[in-house]
Chain A
Amino acid sequence: MAVDADVRAPAAPLAGALGTRLRRFGELTREVLRNPTTMIGLALIVGMIGMAIFAPLLIEPNTPNPYQMPRDWGALNEPPGTPGHILGTTQQGGDVLYGVIWGARTSLRLSLIVVSITVVIGLIVGSLAGFLGGKIDEFLMRLVDIFLSIPELIFALAIAAVLGPSFGNIILALAAVFWVKYARIIRGQVIHIKQNEYVDAARVIGDSSLRIYSKDVLPNSITPVVVQATLDMGNVVLIGATLSFIGLAEAGLAEWGVLVSQGQAGISAGRWWASTFPGLMVFVWALAFNLVGDGLRDILDPRTETKR
């Protein structure tokens, strides 16, 4: 319809000069600022990550390992408001507030490690599949399908179970599950780009695959990968917490899921706090990254773009 022609924001050319891409990001930021929900998400993320980073300043770190809950064996199951334990304590005398704050740090660590690992793996696998094509592509994609054919949580659960309960193993399990999406995205992009005539042009000029890769494929893959990564920053923590809730984290870890499961034992006796506060944190964390990821997708997705 004629109107769109006037209203639509100019879509950035696939692999335009750096200038256009910069302008694109300029637009993006403006878009983000315009969208209230995304802004809220951003604010939450900033708050959470701030809490994670400044945890040592917020609350006295436990020695020697600050990622372990400090346990006050003299004050088990204290309700919120107890002096020294504003949010109460767990059945092991752990200070819930400490868990809440350092849990953020644990979660940040978890999500950063997992996401970066998975992005790299996805990048490698996806690019190999996309560029080499043929048998290798076929094989890799089948592999991807197989990984996709087991529900995320269950797969991670099985892996973590086999590796034994520890935070490190949770990281491994999640990494093993989350790389698949990226592989798909990247492969899709590579193939898409390969079909674009200007890449052929580049070939004609005698551009090396590597340069095409760095000049065209990578920059264009960024957008979808960024969106996925943002969403995963939240999902990783969500599933990670679920695993440790089920009981696959190491003992006494300052992690939200662990605290929730500890608190669960006490709810019948009316001890609601030990599970409520940490769980809330998981929710907020996941919510924040979902809001932002969702916002980004709406903005970046060309389909919705025309409609906005």
Chain B
Amino acid sequence: MKLGRNVGARPLWAVFLVMAMVMAACTGTTTDTTGGGADTTTDGGEAPATTGGEPSDTTAPPTGGVTNPETFVHAADDEPTSLDPAQVEAGEGGETVILQVYDRLVEFTPDGPDLIPGIATEVPSTDNGGISEDGTVYTFTIREGVVDHEGNPVDATDVKYSWDRALTMDLPESNVGLLADTVASTEAPDASTFVVTLTQPNAAFLNSVVTQSVASIMSEEFVEANGGVEAGTPNEVIATNPVGTGPYVFEAWNRGENMLFTVNESYWGTPANLDLRIEIVPDPDVRVLGVRAGDYDTIETDPSFVGDIEGAEGVTVFQGEFLLEPIHIGFNLNYPVDQLPPEDTVPADFFYDPLIRRAFNHAFDYEAFVNGALGGFGAPTPFYLPQGVLGYSEDLPVYSQDLAMAEQLFRDAGVWDEGFTVSVIAEGGNLFEIAALVLKDSLEGLNPNFTVNVLALAEAQFDEAHASDPVPYALWVKNADPFADPHAFQSEYMDPEGNWGQVHGMANGYQDPETISSMIDEASVITDPAEREAIYHELSAMFYDDPMWIIAGNEVAVMAYRDWVQGFVMNPLWPRPSLKFALFDKG
């Protein structure tokens, strides 16, 4: 369970802006937008033996020969929970599969935010008349002769059916909100025309909705033949046995082992070069060993073990952009004291006091987290403008560890002498737990009277606590949902009237909540980037003095792959569903 697991909805409107910023922003880590990554290859020692499915019997690392020349092998880090576009959680393992098996009307280019046609013959625009003047009606022309893996023809009616299906099922865990929030109605006047009417103009509709897995297209015949559509109930067949029109045909899912795909020879586009096998390998060390031994061509990579891969013979570590999902620790200003863990001593209004929140921010050992846990592939981040988002600037104030200051603040807040005990929850066994531990060490090292209990919960238990309102814990660690637009971050994480603003009762803490939310709203409607930026910078400064989070660090996207992988390209913005295996070849 590494980063990007539960990353939330991805309204990617204004991705182009982002890309612009990306290029502008010269952050700590290098970029190569054309090649899509700064490559580092070095020679390394003998790799241990491993085997096909798992690291294999071939003792020597395959220097010359390519292992599994016919199959591309990717080692994913966890088992999908559903393969149904209408059910999959955003950022979940299932999206990786859906991206390969299903098509959407339009797609992203493999390495960036530009759009290319999918099932639709061209990307609609006001120029080609695909988008109505008022920007609410989108018309797509559907390809001729597209068939799904079962041979069922797919045309406009199926497109309509697919979207309507997601909307009807309306599964809470799914990402269907994207459609529901934007789409007013769908029609298929004829077999080759699909028309969508939006509730309101939305410039980012194509990027943030049509390209998303929830908008994937399947054939009506197949669905109807396999349980059809039932509101509020998942379709087990589709969830475990996807049949789409994509470049890969889903063959088998050996739970806990791997998922097998074959080339869709009758693909409307250029068919894939190799068959595909996605190995399910939660243990990092097995993935590392696998890629070093050449049994995996690409592996789900985590900064914390890049060190183990670098220097391995025949392996390249792709180093991409910052993920737009900083790991942060939330101050809860709204917890019910009686529901806190019994050992906690903090009063209800503990975090109301900005001094304490600032003290926490100054106490946190950013060095330890970024260089230790993230292996240097990360950087601290201003509130709440991650690197790569409009408005980010190196000049923005960022917290760094300052124990003297922290002590002073704690003294001023009057909690230094008697101290306190507080619990922080995190999902066990991953970077979140480590961030929590760093916080613990930082504070306890600062003053023996401070006690921070780290509760590393099972995913299910964390999710339940995290989904409840109010959250029954004073502190929790998680990664932010990746948004492309500053407003999303601001409203989600900073606005006292926003989602977390309300859950965390930020109004209790801010000196002047109204001003803040009004400023955030104001910035959202301004179209001139420069002006927006100005406001965000102002906000960021205010947030620095009155922080609602500790941003432990923002992580850089890394991906290790064998040198023999030809045409490796990765869309740097999103770590997970961004590899298009169909484009890859080996040798």
Contact = CB atoms under 8 A, between A and B. Distances in A.
Interface of A: 63-65, 68, 71, 73-74, 76, 91-93, 161, 164-166, 247, 250-252, 264-269
Name the residue in B308, B372, B451, B457 with the highest tally of chain A Cβ atoms < 10 Å from its Cβ: B372
B48 A268 contact: yes
B286 A161 contact: no
B438 A73 contact: yes
Q: Which 7 A-B pairs have the closest CB atoms?
A: A73-B368, A268-B285, A251-B456, A269-B308, A268-B289, A251-B454, A73-B372
Contacts of A250: 453-456
A73 B441 contact: yes
Contacts of B470: none
Contact of B285 (A64, A93, A247, A265): A265
Contacts of A166: 455
B319 to A, nearest CB: 19
Given A64-B451, A93-B372, A251 B433 contact: yes
A271 to B, nearest CB: 9
B304 interface: yes
Nearest to A161: B458
B237 to A, nearest CB: 30
Given A65-B451, A73-B367, A91 B304 contact: yes
A269 B285 contact: yes
Interface string B420-439: 00000010110001101110
5 contacts: A73-B365, A73-B367, A247-B429, A252-B454, A269-B305
A63 B445 CA distance: 8
A268 B426 CA distance: 26
A64 B437 contact: no
Contacts of B285: 264-269
Name the residue in B284, B365, B453, B456 with the highest tally of chain A Cβ atoms < 10 Å from its Cβ: B456
A268 B305 CA distance: 11
Given A73-B438, A164-B461, A266-B308, 17 more contacts: A63-B444, A65-B444, A71-B437, A73-B365, A73-B371, A74-B372, A92-B434, A92-B437, A165-B428, A165-B456, A165-B457, A250-B455, A250-B456, A251-B455, A265-B284, A266-B285, A268-B286
A284 to B, nearest CB: 26
A252 B455 CA distance: 10
B448 interface: yes
A59 B433 CA distance: 26
B444 A71 contact: no
Nearest to A91: B304
B440 A247 contact: no
B458 A164 contact: yes
Contacts of A266: 285, 308
Nearest to B283: A265
Interface string B441-467: 100100011110111111001000000
Contacts of B456: 165, 250-251
Contacts of A91: 304
Nearest to A267: B285
A260 to B, nearest CB: 14
A89 B129 CA distance: 64
A264 B458 CA distance: 19
B288 interface: yes
Contact of A268 (B308, B367, B368, B444): B308
A266 B285 CA distance: 6
Contacts of A71: 437, 441
Name the residue in B367, B368, B450 with the highest tally of chain A Cβ atoms < 10 Å from its Cβ: B368
A110 B471 CA distance: 32
Given A93-B372, A265-B284, A268-B308, A247 B428 contact: yes
A68 B448 CA distance: 13
Interface in B197-251: none
Contacts of B450: 64
Nearest to A76: B372
Nearest to B308: A269
Interface in B164-215: none
Contacts of B451: 64-65
Contacts of B304: 91
B6 to A, nearest CB: 18
Nearest to B368: A73
Contacts of B453: 250
B429 to A, nearest CB: 6
B25 to A, nearest CB: 28
A166 B454 CA distance: 10
Contacts of B449: 64
B283 to A, nearest CB: 7
A211 B433 CA distance: 55
B169 to A, nearest CB: 31
A267 B283 CA distance: 11
Contacts of B365: 73
A64 B436 CA distance: 16
A251 B368 contact: no
B439 to A, nearest CB: 11
B288 A268 contact: yes
A68 B444 CA distance: 11
Interface in B297-321: 304-305, 307-308
Contacts of A93: 372
A92 B375 CA distance: 12
Contacts of A68: 440
Contacts of A269: 285, 288, 305, 307-308
Nearest to B286: A268
A2 to B, nearest CB: 65
A252 B440 contact: yes
A250 B454 CA distance: 7
Contacts of A164: 455, 457-458, 461
B415 to A, nearest CB: 15
Nearest to A71: B441
A64 B283 contact: no
Contacts of A73: 365, 367-369, 371-372, 438, 441
A76 B436 CA distance: 17
A166 B423 CA distance: 13
Contacts of B368: 73-74
A124 to B, nearest CB: 27
A264 B286 CA distance: 10
A232 B456 CA distance: 28
